[in-house]
Amino acid sequence: MEAATQITVKLPDGTPLELPDGSSGADAAAAIGPGLAKAALAIRADGELRDLSAPLPDGAEIAILTDRDEEALELIRHDAAHVMAEAVTELFPGTKVTIGPPIEQGFYYDFEFPPDVKVSEDDLERIEAAMQRHIDAAESFERRDLPTAQAIELFRAQGQDYKVELIEDLIRDEGVETVSLYRNGPFEDLCRGPHGPGTDRIAAVKLSSLAGAYWRGDESRAMLTRIYGTAFFSKKDLAAHLELIEQAKARDHRRLGPELGLFMLRKEAPGMPFWLAHGTTLLRLIEAEVHAQLRKREYTEIKTPHLMDVELWHRSGHWDNYQENMYFTESKERQYAIRPMNCPGACLVFGSDRHSYRELPLRVAEFGEVSRAEREGVLHGLLRVRAFTQDDAHIYCTPEQIVGEVTGVCEAIDELYARFGFEDVQIELSTRPEKSIGSAEQWERAEAALRGALEAQEREYTLNPGDGAFYGPKIDFHITDALGRSWQCGTCQVDFFMPERFDLTYTDHNDAPQRPVMIHRALLGSMERFAGILIEHHAGRFPVWLAPVQATVLPISDRHIEFGDEVAAQLRQLGVRVEVDRRSESIGKKVRDAELARNPYMLVVGDREQETGEVAVRSHAEGELGAMGYAQFAELVHSAEAA
Ligand SMILES: [Zn+2]
Ligand SMILES: [Zn+2]
């Protein structure tokens, strides 16, 4: 039999491409054109990303990856992680390397430095410079495959114990017989790949920070040093990225929170925010907007207990499916759980009464404070907390009413988010997770209902397989902030299951008992998290309607304080949120501090104002507005609120 001398691969537009047998991705790119040959970074063959140098299988559908593809950035960041390990092992001989993956914003590599070597952030520049030398040297990434025994021997001889452990695990867990190694310059690493053709494709690289990390995230194993960095295809992209980080730092709600008297976090209660006076006002203002939606859309509101018998959580399925996220407590030999969700309490309320089909859909809201046992390492200001308030609601309805109810939730979310200045809402549909309750048929029905509702409204959405709640699929709503970052806020979940567990019924028009469907929904999601997003979105400088303090009265000297208090009292009567700076500081200092407090208006009062009964108004947005009476100023505030 004659061996095939040609293979045929298929290009993304369906065109066949004939190549000599044994041709690689690089050969395919060259056959298409010299421009592509130069731009090529890797190749996708039948959906799998491979090195350009790997031979192509006959009949494969191929696509050449260039720097225009989103995944290409991930590829060169993985390249950069190897270059960093190359630089580090060169600068600090005896360093043990572990793993170095690309991550969302860049890459990292975890190292174990020799005991006598101390590496700090001061060394990052030196490591970066060494990396640059290897990038400039245009070292190619070369792959070889070795039998596991030989690879173990190789790494053992180099004292690279972590690599030996990784290979041993691969043998045990995946039964592999060979492993792949990638070389760039003098450095060779155990790696699945793929990699770009050479180090010179990394146009811009920056190391950012250093942190401790346990080997495999296991506290009983060695503490390693993790170095973070990022890489881009151009210096310009890197500069834009660094600029964004600077801006994010300036807006960081964890710093602005205490500075502006909004909230604080204490080690006595990790992940559980203390709301200060200004922050509590902010929360109430946000709540008022949610309440307006509840009134408009015919919701009733309830409040249920924080602490309930564990028996309830067995019944709800939380014990089996959510236990690791829950706090438990015991009193007088009775076991309680602190609620991580409001649903079981809501079910007890619904189940305590008889319901007729005439009442449905029944929409019951609860601003429910919940607690979840998040690991300390993942806590992040207000964005990831252990205690928060959901603007929650449960809608009980018939299967026929689902589409209408989900549509109503989407509309409420549109209106509410627009009120806060977020117009661009992204929707994600999440389906059945691994840990879940209910039958396949129930899940299918629920997923179809959510899809149907989105399609009936002609809304675009993306699919997020396996990320639903344990009791049902969900739609999540994402907003984009001033820095272009996306945040998940609201959620809407269809649940056929909880009503069964709690034996919830209503009577239909034949007086026969029927099972209602339960829709769990939150418009903003977590009030705390939403407040955190707003703080960063506005960089602490809230619009007039949302500012906890709309105006600061600044008496020019101590003898004007009494008049300042009088001005403030009058303005409060007129519905303006106002504070007086009663400190014995110079007016210059008071003005500077009021500017730092980021309130929309300053009202300076001295002899002249006292005589005329007016205030000298200075607006942050518009500058000096001159003197005016209280009523006129209050009107100005209210018209700004309405804008
Ligand atoms: Zn690698
Ligand atoms: Zn619920």
Give the tens place of pLDDT for each residue, 487-514.
999 999 998 889 999 999 999 999 999 9
Distance 83 CA to ligand 1 centre (A): 10
Q: Is 390 a catalytic residue?
A: yes
Q: Is the Cβ–Cβ distance between 471 and 437 less than 8 Å?
A: yes
Question: Rg of the Cα trace of the chain?
Answer: 31
Tell me the pTM: 0.78
pLDDT-derived band at 376, boundaries 50, 70, 90? confident
Q: Which ligand has an atom closest to residue 190 CA?
A: 1
pLDDT at 134 over 60: yes
> So what's the pLDDT on residue 621?
87
Q: Kindly state the helix (H) or strand (E) to which residue 563 belongs, with its residue range.
A: helix 561-573
pLDDT-derived band at 278, boundaries 50, 70, 90? very high
Q: Is 414 a catalytic residue?
A: no
User: What is each CA distance from 461 to 100, 405, 457, 478, in whole angstroms?
Assistant: 33, 18, 11, 11
pLDDT at 631 over 90: yes
Q: Is the Cβ–Cβ distance between 62 and 11 less than 8 Å?
A: yes
Residue 267: what residue type? K
Q: Is the Cβ–Cβ distance between 326 and 373 less than 8 Å?
A: yes
Q: Which ligand has an atom closest to residue 497 CA?
A: 2
Determine how many CB atoms are found less than 10 A away from the CB of residue 438. Answer: 20
Backbone dihedral region for residue 94 (phi beyond 0: left; psi -120 to 50: alpha; all else: beta): left
> So what's the pLDDT on residue 3?
55
In whole angstroms, what is the distance from residue 368 CA to residue 558 CA?
A: 45
> So what's the pLDDT on residue 4?
60
Which residues are within 5 Å of ligand 2 (an ion), measured at CB? 343, 520
pLDDT-derived band at 356, boundaries 50, 70, 90? very high
Q: Is the Cβ–Cβ distance between 309 and 316 less than 8 Å?
A: no
Q: Is 27 a catalytic residue?
A: no
**Residue 638, token pair as written in the block:** 């209210």
pLDDT at 2 over 60: no
Residue 526: name the closest of 337, 387, 359 by CA: 387
Determine how many CB atoms are found less than 10 A away from the CB of residue 264. Answer: 13
In whole angstroms, what is the distance from residue 228 CA to residue 352 CA?
A: 55
The pLDDT mean for the chain works out to 94
Residues 49-88 pLDDT 10s: 999 999 999 999 999 999 998 889 999 999 999 999 999 9
Q: Is 235 a catalytic residue?
A: no
Residue 195: name the closest of 91, 102, 321 by CA: 102
Q: Which ligand has an atom closest to residue 99 CA?
A: 1
Distance 100 CA to ligand 1 centre (A): 6
Residue 58: what residue type? D
Distance 494 CA to ligand 2 centre (A): 10
Instruction: Please give the average per-residue pLDDT across 584-590, as a whole number.
Output: 95
Residues 185-197 pLDDT 10s: 999 999 999 999 9
Instruction: Please give the average per-residue pLDDT across 466-493, as a whole number.
Output: 91
Q: Is 343 a catalytic residue?
A: yes
**Residue 305, token pair as written in the block:** 């207990």
Distance 342 CA to ligand 2 centre (A): 6
The percentage of the chain sitting over the pLDDT mark of 70, rounded to a whole number, equals 99
ω before 361 within 30° of 0 (cis)? yes
Determine how many CB atoms are found less than 10 A away from the CB of residue 636. Answer: 19
Catalytic residue among 394, 432, 521, 538: 394
Catalytic residue among 110, 163, 343, 590: 343
Residues 596-616 pLDDT 10s: 999 999 999 999 999 999 999
